Amino acid sequence: PLISMREMLDHAAENGYGIPAFNVNNLEQVQAVMTAADEVGAPVILQASAGARKYAGEPFIKHLIQAAAEMFPHIPLVMHQDHGTTPDICQGALNLGFGSVMMDGSLLGDGKTPSSFEYNVDVTQQVVAMAHRIGATVEGELGCLGNLETGEAGEEDGIGAEGKLDHSQMLTDPEEAAVFVKATQLDALAIAIGTSHGAYKFSRPPTGDILSIQRVKEIHARIPNTHLVMHGSSSVPQELLAMINQYGGKMKETYGVPVEEIQEAIKYGVRKVNIDTDIRLAMTGAVRKFLAENPDKFDAREWLKPAREAAKQVCKARYLQFGCEGQG
């Protein structure tokens, strides 16, 4: 059934596991996440970005997620809005039936310009007030996702700062985090530790200077009762890049967030781990391979099936790696 995000994250904290939150935009992605969770007994967070709502149309997003709840009534399921950039957008999601919203006040309403701490507190407080009134959960964000070596936020068309970021903006300050949580009373806090959205996170396998699990520990030590969220947490598996490139793709060398680093972060308060890119890579690789090997096929179901299966394998792996087995 659809349940509250707060309840799901509290359970994860009590039992020491993390939940991958997968971005969904269409039927096959929803099916991939649900069947993976069903096979391992995991709880599910389905999250839709503003881009997903635009791509599919709000009624489709709403009913795809409700269809998932209907088809898998035994699976605890959260319907979450990813990266709301204004209180109005969050209100729209709550009106649509989302039980959880992210108010990303780390950027202004354009989703590109880093905001002030005061602005972030103000918009997050507004969303907490509107959401808590109806029992919905709020995720906020403090700090800017970005590459600690280059100052680049990554992802050009998604959510991310435009222009170069300062080193300190890209690492959430533990003391500020404590003030932020106290002032806003939010349910979960997304933090910046060197990850960024999209496939191009790191130009080399990340070491502690560019992916700071140490910072997660410092934040957790300061606010041990706050559920932490990691964005930009795709692992960008090398075998998926290789598959894409083997069948005509042209992806450049790149590295993601190693699963072991996420597992370490889960020991220190990280309860929600956002993953979109890994599903994109898996589906693209599978479609490229299928069409390359079957040039005579033209039934969309035939190439969507391997794409859906590849996405499912990624989801299942993350559920197992983050300790979700049997927790749903």
Catalytic residues: 82
81, 115, 274, 327: residue in contact with ligand 13P (rule CB under 6 A): 274
**60 makes contact with ligand G3H (CB under 6 A):** no
**139 makes contact with ligand G3H (CB under 6 A):** no
Q: How many CA within 13 A on the CB side of residue 29?
A: 25
How far does CA 326 lie from the centroid of its chain? 21
Q: Which of 325, 322, 203, 195 is nearest to 264 (CA)?
A: 322
44, 276, 278, 321: residue in contact with ligand G3H (rule CB under 6 A): 276
Out of Zn ion, Na ion, ligand G3H, none, which partner does residue 144 contact, by CB within 5 to 8 A per kind? Answer: Na ion
Of the candidate spans 7-15, 22-30, 174-182, 267-275, the one that interacts with Zn ion by CB under 5 A turns out to be 267-275
Burial class from Cβ neighbours inside 10 Å (0-12, 13-18, 19+) for residue 312 reads buried
**197 makes contact with ligand G3H (CB under 6 A):** yes
* Element housing 216 (H / E): helix 213-222
Instruction: Report the nearest approach of ligand G3H to the CB of residue 103 (Å).
Output: 14
Instruction: Report the nearest approach of ligand 13P to the CB of residue 275 (Å).
Output: 5
28, 82, 141, 278: residue in contact with ligand G3H (rule CB under 6 A): 82
Q: Where are the beta strands (DSSP E) in the chain?
A: 19-23, 44-48, 77-84, 100-103, 137-142, 188-191, 227-230, 270-275
Buried b (16+ CB within 10 A) or exposed e, 91-123: bbbbebebbbbbbbbbbbbebeebbeeeebbeb
Distance CA 148, CA 257 (A): 14
Of the candidate spans 32-40, 45-53, 95-103, 177-185, the one that interacts with ligand G3H by CB under 6 A turns out to be 45-53
6, 215, 220, 231: residue in contact with Zn ion (rule CB under 5 A): 231
DSSP 189: E
The answer to whether 52 touches 27, Cβ cutoff 8 Å, is: no
Tokens of 286: 């599978």
Question: What residue number has its CB nearest to ligand G3H?
Answer: 51
Q: Where in 158-187 is the site for ligand G3H (CB under 6 A)? A: 158-159
Instruction: Report the nearest approach of ligand G3H to the CB of residue 139 (Å).
Output: 12
Closer to ligand G3H by CB, 108 or 291: give it.
Answer: 108
Q: Which of 113, 111, 136, 140 is nearest to 125 (CA)?
A: 140
Instruction: Report the nearest approach of ligand G3H to the CB of residue 168 (Å).
Output: 22
197, 272, 289, 308: residue in contact with ligand 13P (rule CB under 6 A): 197
* Sites of contact with ligand 13P (CB under 6 A): 23, 82-83, 197-198, 231-234, 274-277
* Sites of contact with Na ion (CB under 5 A): 106, 141, 144
* Sites of contact with ligand G3H (CB under 6 A): 23, 49, 51-52, 82-83, 158-159, 197, 276
